Amino acid sequence: MDTILRIDMGAPGGPKASTEPVGKYAGLGGRGMTSMIVADEVDPLCHPLSAANKLVFAPGLLAGTAASTSGRLSVGCKSPLTGGIKEANAGGQAGMALGRLGYAAIIVEGQPPGDDLWKILINKEGVSFSVDNSCRGLGNYDTVAKLSKIHGEKCAYMTIGQAGEMKLLASSIACTDRELHPTRHMGRGGVGAVMGAKKIKAIVVDDTGTAPPQSKDPSAFKTAAKAWVEGLKRHAVTGQALPAFGTNVLTNVLNEAGGYPTFNFKQGQFAGASKISGEAQAQLETDRGGLATHGCQRGCTIQCSGIFHGKDGKYVTKQPEYETVWSHGGNCGIDDLDAIAQLDRMDDDFGLDTIEMGVTIGVAMEAGVVKFGDAQGAIRLLGEVGKGTPLGRVLGSGAGVTGKVFGVERVPVVKNQAIPAYDPRAVQGIGVTYATSTMGADHTAGYAVATNILKVGGFVDPLKPEGQVDLSRNLQIATAAVDSTGMCLFIAFAVLDQPDTFQNLLDLLNAHYGLALTGDDVVALGKKVLSAERSFNARAGFTVQDDRLPRFFEQEPVAPHQATFTVKPEELDTVFNW
Amino acid sequence: MQVTVKLFATFRTGRFDIAQVEHPAGTTVGGIVDALGIPREEIGILMVSGRHADLNERPAPGDTVAIFPMVGGG
C-alpha cells in the first residue's frame, strides 16, 4: 500500500499509467486519501466533466488484510451534482483486490479525444488499456457478464451503465459482489458521469497471484483481528439485527418515531410501512429461497445484505437497502416489495444512485407526472432514464433539476443532492448533518440518527434543537476518520458503544503499519479531512448560505409530531468551529 | 386500561407483531415489558405514541407502546 497509480487518459498516443510513492499521503485511506488528493490537485472551479477533473479511487488502510469489514472502496472527484468535493464509497470485492495489488490510490486524470470507450485492466503485471466499444449502451449486468467471459470470475469489476455513459448527474459506479453481481455502488454525487466523461466503461481488477499485504507486526495483527471480529459479533446491532434483518430494520423504527418521510416529505409516517419493513423483507427472501443474511464482500462478519428472489424463485437483485426501500417505497407511497426490488435492479443496472432516483420520482409524483403509489408508473419513469429519452435525462439529473423542470417547490435537496430517509424535522440532529456536510445531503456523513433515534452512543432528543450541533460535529469528525480507514461505517455501532472494540481498531492499524495511533490522532485525522473538504468547497464558491436546509422544513410542520426544523442558522454556522 | 403493544425484529419471535393488551391503570412501560417476558437488558428503544420513553413511564389508556431490541442500519 505504498504506491499511487496515476492514469492519464488524455496522454498523447493513448492512455498512460505511471506509479509514484505514496509520499505525503501515507497513513490515509478511503475518503481521507481521495479528499486530500482532490483538494490538492483538482481546480475547484473546473467543470466536473472536463479533463481538469480527476477521479481518485482509494481502498482502505487495511484493504486486502484479514481484518473483517475493511474492504470499502472510496472514489472522489469534483461532483457534477453538487459542484463541490465528493467522496462516495461501496462494498463489494474491488477494494480488497486493489489492496492486495498494493495500490493506496488510483488517480485518473485527463480525457481521451474521440468517442471510443476504454477498458482498463489492472493486475500484478501492471496496467493495460484497450479500446472496447463492445459494451457501449449496455447496463452493468450485461457489461459484467460479457467482461467476465473474457477475464474470468475471480476479477472484481468496476463499471458504469447507460447513466454514466450519458453523464447523468445521478449516475454511479458499480462494483461487483462475491457473485459477480454489479450491486454495490459508489452511488452519490454523479461519480459515474465523471468516469463516463473520461470514456472509461470498465475497470477490471485482477488480484490473481497476489498475497495479502504484510503487517509490520503479524502476531499483534492476528490478535487484534480476532478481538475485532469478537467485538463486532458481541454488539446487538452488528452481531444480530444487521445480519438478521439488514439495514431495512429501520423502516419500522423511523415510521414509529414519525421521522419516515412519506409522499415527498409531506408526512412522517407511512400506512404501508410494515409491508415493506425489514422484518417482512427478510421473511419474503427466506420464503422464496433467497437469503436474508449475506456479505457484500469476502470476510465481512456483519453480513448485512441478502439476496432477493422474485415470485418465480429466481434472482432479482441483492436485498434492497433501507434507503432504497424508503426512496422508491414510502417516499413515493409504494408498499410493494417486488416493485421496489425491480426498481433497485434497474438502478443497479443503469448505474444510478437509488436515493437520488427515488427522491426524484417523488418530486415527479408531486408534479403529477405519475400518481403517488403508482408502482408501474415509477418503473416506467425509471425505464425512461435507461433509454435516455429527454424525460429520462431530466429525471436522471436528479431531484433538484427535476423540481426546476416541473415547477415543484417542495424539493428535498441540500447542495443539489437528495435528502435521504430521515425527516430532519423529526430527527433534528441528522438535519444538521444534511445542512452542513461537505457532501450535500448525506446521512452517512454524521449519522445522528444513531443517537437521536437508536440510542446508540447516548441519547439526544430528536424533536428538540438542543445538543444537535455538538452531536453532528462530533459524528462528522468521527465519520471522516472512519471513512479514512476504509472500514465499513457500520462498525461505528460497535465502536461507539464498546471502548475495547474502538481500541481493537487502533490496534489493527498500529500492528499493520507499525504506528502508535491514539484516539486523539483519530479525531485530528477527521478534522484534517473535513477542513480540506471545506476548503475545496469554499474555493468552488460555496458559502454559509449553502449550509442550509430547504426553507419548507422550517415552515411546514410534519405529522405526527407537527415538528419543524428549529436549529437556528447561526448555530449551523458553528458546526465546524473546533 | 388497554394499550396497543407493537413488537419488532427478534422480539416478535414466539410473541406477536401487534396486540391490544389489558393492564391495570398506572402500569409502567417496564411492567408491560416484564409481562411479555422480554429481558430488560435486551431492550434498545422504547416509544410511547411515537416519543422515546423509559421503563418508568406510565402510558395512558389508548397509547401505543413500541418495543425494539437494539437495531441499526443506514
Query: Left, alpha or beta for A564 (phi > 0: left; psi -120 to 50: alpha)?
Result: beta
Contact yes or no for B71 and A443 at CB 8 A:
no
Query: Which strand (E) or helix (H) includes residue A255?
Result: helix A250-256
- CA–CA dist B56, B54 (Å, integer): 6
Burial of A387 (0-12, 13-18, 19+ CB in 10 A): exposed
All residues of chain B having their beta carbon less than 8 Å from the beta carbon of residue A443 are 74
β-pairing verdict for A156-159 and A173-175: antiparallel
Residue in A316, A395, A317, A323 with CA at minimum distance from that of residue A363: A395
Residue in A476, A524, A2, A416 with CA at minimum distance from that of residue A170: A416
For A270, residues 6+ apart whose C-beta sits below 8 A from its C-beta are: A255, A260, A262, A329, A330, A333, A335
Return the C-alpha cell found at A7. 492514469
β-pairing verdict for B64-69 and B2-7: parallel
Query: What are phi and psi for residue A462, nearest 5 degrees?
Result: -70, -20
ipTM over 0.85 threshold: yes
Chain B nearest CA to A260, separation (Å) = 12
The amino acid that residue A184 corresponds to is R
Whether pTM > 0.95 for this model: the answer is: yes
All residues of chain B having their beta carbon less than 8 Å from the beta carbon of residue A279 are 8-9, 12, 17
Chain B nearest CA to A452, separation (Å) = 9
Residue-level pLDDT at A486: 87
Chain B nearest CA to A501, separation (Å) = 17
Residues of chain A with pLDDT under 70: none
* Chain-centroid distance, C-alpha A453: 21
Contact yes or no for B70 and A454 at CB 8 A:
yes
Predicted confidence (pLDDT) at residue B6 exceeds the cutoff of 80: yes
Contact yes or no for B70 and A456 at CB 8 A:
yes
Chain B nearest CA to A559, separation (Å) = 11
For A527, residues 6+ apart whose C-beta sits below 8 A from its C-beta are: A477, A480, A578
Q: Helix, strand, coil proportions of chain A in percent (round to 5)?
A: 45, 15, 40
Query: Left, alpha or beta for A343 (phi > 0: left; psi -120 to 50: alpha)?
Result: alpha
* Chain-centroid distance, C-alpha B33: 6
For A470, residues 6+ apart whose C-beta sits below 8 A from its C-beta are: none
Question: In whole angstroms, how far apart are CA A189 and each of A398, A416, A439, B25?
Answer: 10, 9, 8, 53
Q: What is the DSSP string of A422-475?
A: S-TTTSHHHHHHHHH-TTSS-GGGS-THHHHTS-SSS---TTSSTTHHHHHHHH
Report the 10 Å Cβ neighbour count for A556: 14
Report the 10 Å Cβ neighbour count for A146: 15
Secondary structure of residue A526 in the 3-state scheme: helix
Residue-level pLDDT at A459: 96
C-beta separation of A38 from A58 below 8 A: no
All residues of chain B having their beta carbon less than 8 Å from the beta carbon of residue A444 are 74
Residue-level pLDDT at A542: 98
Taking only the tens place, the pLDDT of each residue in B15-73 is: 999 999 999 999 999 999 999 999 999 999 999 999 999 999 999 999 999 999 999 88
Of the candidates A237, A244, A256, the beta carbon closest to that of B47 is on A256
In A9-65, which ranges are continuous DSSP H helix? 30-41
Residue-level pLDDT at A409: 97
Q: In what order do the strands lie in the sheet with B2-7?
A: B18-22, B2-7, B64-69, B43-48, B51-52
